[in-house]
Structure 1
């Protein structure tokens, strides 16, 4: 039998009730939240697409693992299960658990970066950018040109611009480059995958100049799925084999396991060489920031669930369904002529808010405009991936202009059904039909000095 859409490779055993507030209530809630969707209560969101990080549904095996979790402060059996799984999947000599991805960056980056250094990436996500800057260094994005054209359908739009990477290193001097970061998939560019060949090329440059290469790999399994599908060399390779090949080119990795690890809390640092002096430094920072290195800020039950989730996240049937769910939403947007970063990435749809609201300038945050309209329309919480998130120039304090003005619909894993996905599409279609009525966007009335989009207050410009 031919199946039109990829069905869920699971059935539902437990449900969480949802409620849909009235339009009037939603408008009041977003006003009370100072037009910042991070301030909304989760219970006031009918469909929560703010992030796919830690919002996943765990399996029956993971919940059983929660009951088996060993809560010993040091040397818990759950720790050793996680370490064995991490070494098996990623092939690194040392694996350090931390409570989430940004904790891994806080532990690792100050060991590699300092004042007057730069870090280069195919594109830094907001929290990674913040931890580079907190370490005293500066970020430089080096994305392939086609990634900056949402309507252009090309494979591996998350790739590093290799020629530009070498130019930057020569321009600043190899001694100034503290770290190269390859983000897979490339979140800020729309969840776009990175080819293994591109990582090889980046690794060769890093080795030639003596610069360490870190793989920021929150969505490593989704990236491997795209590699298997779209990179001919790997069409017959297993997902696990692709992951091992991908990670073999890095010196270190950081992972927010709250994504492809399919857990609600957890992260990992990897150091390829278990005998590297860096390992002791990672352990020392972990003890200072996260707790003893055999639990790394996680309970034993979290360690146990993650050890199981790492394997569930690389299952081919699951990944086919996972990507298929996002492609279904993208297909509905294609039918409605709604622009997004195409082809669709792995963990969500990045709607081109600048195309939907061409009359709203970047400094009035069209990505945030669409996010707020989605909440008003259907109780859907999303977030801006654009100039609002990018923030201000650290030297001048002036608003930076992002390469994109996206509104990200990040799809939690194993959580929402096709009917929920239709609600997302219908809401976007309704907003597009009246998009021309919006004349102004939003202004910031208060903001913190770093990672402002989490806490800033906004107001409509009238």
Structure 2
């Protein structure tokens, strides 16, 4: 659908920013001109998805809409044991609440915010094992999202294999600038998890975009389709956790899927889902949502769609680079990441240069992005990234040109920008960027 969008005046944007405590999550959506806060649930559904909505079976138990979702997950992803949830973090609660116990260590190529928070909430310790190339924004490595197995072994040696319950591979690696993971690395991580007796989980939120990169960059799969790669790559996992709001191409929904040989894990996940999400054939979703996700999963692995999708993100990356922002290369599948620490090198990390850049982009042109640096991930050693996440099937070239013009204007006065300090935050620091209040520091 199309809807008119207005650019509020600069005075209105300044007032909205101040009222929101300089936290862009608290800025009303109708005060935003181009919204690149997230690609999660913000895209546009297809005509086939809207048609499927009309046949939604709203039965509490045994819904035919759930059957069609389960068939789609089996066909596209290779898993026929599916536990639906209202969205990705609901699925994380179901799976990690089942797998993680007090004192456990969970390894990941890089934990994202909600994953890290779920591990912590269950008494576990989240440990990142990113590929060394991930820390080099200019390195032209094709798979900078990979899991560093040697770092994983070192993390196991510290506590013993018995205390490492889960090994996670996030594809694409959102916290490492949306970089893809190779199938070869997936095989290595699966073998590593098997060796230490850990459950191997793939966070499959962007599995289709990852598969597209594999067809372009991994010689073994040069003649494969994204659909073929997806089945191959996901097939190494014991379980997958999915936010349908990404490569399910829907506005709400998610699920856990479990390998057919893990009866106990599947049953425990179903019981936890009943407690937190709903009966296992609806999982907190309306039947129409299940129908839309079933169609979206099939559409997500279409090669023509993926070429356009990934190409559009690359187009935005080119606009931002031309504007003078230091863009993380290669550009990822769902977002462009900018190194705010380099763009505002006079603002120390303690003053959140990423938040300063994000707020100025909104003030200048009504462009909403998100800081994914020291503000979003406190007490971790992370680059000062700002993420420009592109909703699927939503924006056009003119929107990206506006973003580029906005970025260029901000770059022109970058040396005038100052940092921020937190004045109020929630008890769980892993999630503070969603609701904390800040204030600008004096120049």
Question: Structure 2 length as normaliser, TM-score?
Answer: 0.98
Which of 351, 356, 359 is 1:369 aligned to?
356
**Match for 2:420 among 408, 429, 442?**
442
1:241 maps to 228
Alpha-carbon distance change, 275 to 34 in structure 1, aligned in 2, over 3 angstroms? closer
- Assess, with a 3 A threshold, how the Cα gap between structure 1 residues 363 and 39 changes in structure 2: closer, same or farther: same
How far 1:356 moved relative to its partner?
0.5
Which residue number in structure 1 is paired with residue 437 of structure 2? 457
Residue 395 of structure 2 corresponds to: 416
| Inter-partner Cα distance in structure 2 for 1:52 and 1:402 | 25
Deviation at 1:149, TM superposition (A): 1.4
Q: Structure 1 residue aligned with 2:330, among 331, 339, 343?
A: 343
In the aligned structure 2, how far is the partner of 1:338 from the partner of 1:453?
A: 23
- Following TM superposition, by how much is the alpha carbon of 1:49 offset from its aligned partner in structure 2, in angstroms? 0.9
Q: Is the 8 A contact 2:71 2:80 kept in 1?
A: no
Structure 1: gaps spanning 5 or more residues: 1-13, 392-399
In structure 2, the partner of 1:203 is 190
Shift in Å, 1:338: 2.1
Q: Is the 8 A contact 2:424 2:436 kept in 1?
A: yes
Counterpart residue number, 2:270: 283
Q: After superposition, where does 1:182-201 map in structure 2 within 5 Å?
A: 182-201=169-188
Pairwise CA distance, 1:274: 5.3
CA distance in 2, matches of 1:118, 1:164: 13
Q: CA separation in 1, counterparts of 2:290 and 2:320?
A: 39
SS in 2 for 1:387: coil
Deviation at 1:428, TM superposition (A): 1.0
Aligned runs of 1:392-431 on 2, under 5 Å?
400-431=379-410
CA contact (8 A) 2:84 2:256 kept: yes
Name 1:5's counterpart in structure 2.
none
Shift of 1:275: 5.2
Change over 3 Å in CA distance of 1:274–1:18 after alignment to 2 = farther
Give 1:48-447 correspondences, 5 Å limit: 48-273=35-260, 276-391=263-378, 400-438=379-417, 440-447=418-425
| Native 8 Å contact 1:94 1:274 kept in 2 | no
Residue in 2 that maps onto 1:19: 6
d(CA) in 2 for partners of 1:401, 1:105 = 21
Q: Which residue of 2 aligns with 1:42?
A: 29
Q: How many residue pairs end up in the alignment?
A: 440
* Segment drifting more, 164-173 vs 130-139: 164-173
Q: Give the unaligned 5+ runs of structure 2.
A: none
The CA RMSD over aligned residues, in Å, is: 1.0
C-alpha offsets along residues 407-461 of structure 1, whole Å, 9 cap, x if unaligned? 11100001110100111111111111110112x3000000001211111000011
For 2:170 and 2:186, the matched residues in 1 are separated by 10
Q: Deviations over 1:34-86 (max 9, x none)?
A: 00011111111111111100001001111111111111111111110000000
Distance in 1 (alpha carbons) for counterparts of 2:11 and 2:367 = 15
Give per-residue Cα distances to partners, 1:312-341, cap 9 Å, x unaligned: 111111100001111111122333442122
Whole-Å Cα distance in 2 between the matches of residues 332 and 71 of structure 1?
45
CA contact (8 A) 2:70 2:80 kept: no
After the TM superposition, which parts of structure 1 deviate over 6 Å for at least 4 consecutive aligned residues? none
Residue 171 of structure 1: how far off its partner (Å): 2.2
Conserved? CA contact 1:57–1:414, under 8 Å: yes
CA contact (8 A) 1:362 1:401 kept: no
Q: Greater CA deviation, 238-247 or 219-228?
A: 238-247
How far does residue 401 in structure 1 lie from its aligned partner after superposition?
4.5
8 Å contact 2:193–2:200 — kept in the other structure? yes
* Residue 395 (structure 1) aligns with: none
Please state how far the C-alpha of 1:110 moved relative to its aligned partner: 1.9
For residues 153 and 279 of structure 1, the distance between their equivalents in structure 2, rounded to whole angstroms, comes to 40
Cα separation, 1, equivalents of 2:149 and 2:244: 28
Secondary structure of the equivalent of 2:115? helix
Tell me the distance in 1 between the aligned counterparts of 2:327 and 2:440.
25
